[in-house]
Structure 1
């Protein structure tokens, strides 16, 4: 019977979240070749292709989508068991964030922590904002980025505009959405009101969501964290989506000076990539 190792699964989930190998490697402190090796190892063991090229990034195959969903649950159960039963590593820091922050914001946070705490190991969890909020409420996340309401320890980082994206010719009533819970999905459906629509595909990860939109499956609502996704264009004549608020929360294990530096660095990055963002 095939046995899947945790390290390759962690690399695969990161690749799915970042839509590419290079950024996944940077986040996991692995070389590009190591991450690629993990993906190939999984493909050999399972006897199927998991990823395929798409533009300048990658897309998940149907088997890859299936594994990504299951791998997230495997990693969650594994990490929860380790935290509950194993002797904690005092120097570990858990960074939890919405997947929408993966490509443009997580490298900023990880880079800053590595600079300030070179001997600390960073654990990364990219998931939905609601689950990030749960990690904050349970006092398990040391640094958290989320598109949800504030927590007692959170700081408002910026107002994030949202927009509909798709490809030319895609029917505007065909939607591609994250599965629930999803703050962007909820706001998008509320905005549509009585306007007719069909949810053509529901996705568990950002790579699958963007791939479906690029393939013309449907249009997708996205927060504008950074420039427009590669291969997608704003969709005209759609109801305007409400803004979202990005909050950052830190645990008592993160000192106030570092917390301020993280928030300032995030604001600078957002302003650099998306000038329309406001931070007040």
Structure 2
């Protein structure tokens, strides 16, 4: 029977979240060649293709879609087991973040944490904001980025604008949404009011959301940070979606100055990305 190593799975999950090898490598502090090697190792072990090139990034095959869903759970269970069974020996730092922050914000945070604590291993978990809050409340996340409803001890970073995106930029009744719980989904649906709409697809990760919208399944709400994803355009003529807020929380296991640095860097990054959008 094939076995899956946790390190290649982490690389695969990061490639899915960041929609590309180079950005995933930057966040994980690995070389692109190492991350590519991890993906190839998984493909050899499983005997199937997981990712294919797609513009400037990657797309998942049907097998890649299947593994993306399972990899998230495998990594979460692995990390929870390690932390539960070795609570006094685990000197690592866990950065937990909403997937919506992955491409433009998480690499900045990861680089800062690596620079301030070079002697400690840094792990990354990308998940829903609701799950990030759980990790904070359970005292497992050391640095946490979440949307809308903050965990205890959180600091509000900045408002994040939301917009509808679609393949052809035309308003549609068909929607592509994250499955609940999802703060972006809630705000977007509320903004439509009585406008007719139909949930055409529900997805569990950002790559699947973007892929479905790019394929013309429907329009999807996304944070307006930086340029649109390849193949997607802003949909005009719809009621505006209220801004959501980005929050940061840190644990007592990281230096107290790090949170202030993270908040400052993120505010600067958000200001620049929103202005450029």
Interval of TM-score (by shorter of Structure 1 and Structure 2): over 0.9
Measured against aligned partners, the alpha-carbon deviations of 1:42-90 in whole angstroms (never above 9, x if no partner) come to 2222222111111110011111111100111111111111111125445
Q: Contact 2:175–2:201 (CA<8 Å) still a contact in 1?
A: yes
What's the secondary structure of 2:242's corresponding residue?
Answer: coil
Are 2:270 and 1:270 aligned?
Answer: yes
Q: Contact 1:50–1:64 (CA<8 Å) still a contact in 2?
A: yes
TM-score, normalising length: structure 1: 0.94
Are 2:258 and 1:258 aligned?
Answer: yes
Equivalent residues, number: 277
The aligned residue for residue 94 of structure 1 is 94
TM-score, normalising length: structure 2: 0.95
Runs of 4 or more, structure 1, over 4 Å off, are: none
Q: Distance in 2 between matches of 1:254 and 1:49?
A: 39
Q: Residues 104-183 of structure 1: matches in 2 within 5 Å? A: 104-168=104-168, 172-183=172-183
1:30 Cα deviation after fit: 1.8
What's the secondary structure of 2:144's corresponding residue?
Answer: strand
The aligned residue for residue 217 of structure 1 is 217
Q: Distance in 1 between matches of 2:151 and 2:2?
A: 42
RMSD: 1.7
Measured against aligned partners, the alpha-carbon deviations of 1:128-154 in whole angstroms (never above 9, x if no partner) come to 111001111111111100003123311
Q: Contact 1:172–1:218 (CA<8 Å) still a contact in 2?
A: yes
1:256 Cα deviation after fit: 2.6
1:237 Cα deviation after fit: 1.7
- Consecutive unaligned residues of structure 2, counting only runs of 5 or more, are none
1:180 Cα deviation after fit: 1.4
1:205 Cα deviation after fit: 1.1
The aligned residue for residue 35 of structure 1 is 35
Measured against aligned partners, the alpha-carbon deviations of 1:161-185 in whole angstroms (never above 9, x if no partner) come to 1000011176611111111111111
Are 2:100 and 1:81 aligned?
Answer: no
Q: Contact 1:170–1:218 (CA<8 Å) still a contact in 2?
A: no
The aligned residue for residue 60 of structure 2 is 60
Q: Contact 1:133–1:148 (CA<8 Å) still a contact in 2?
A: no
The aligned residue for residue 231 of structure 2 is 231
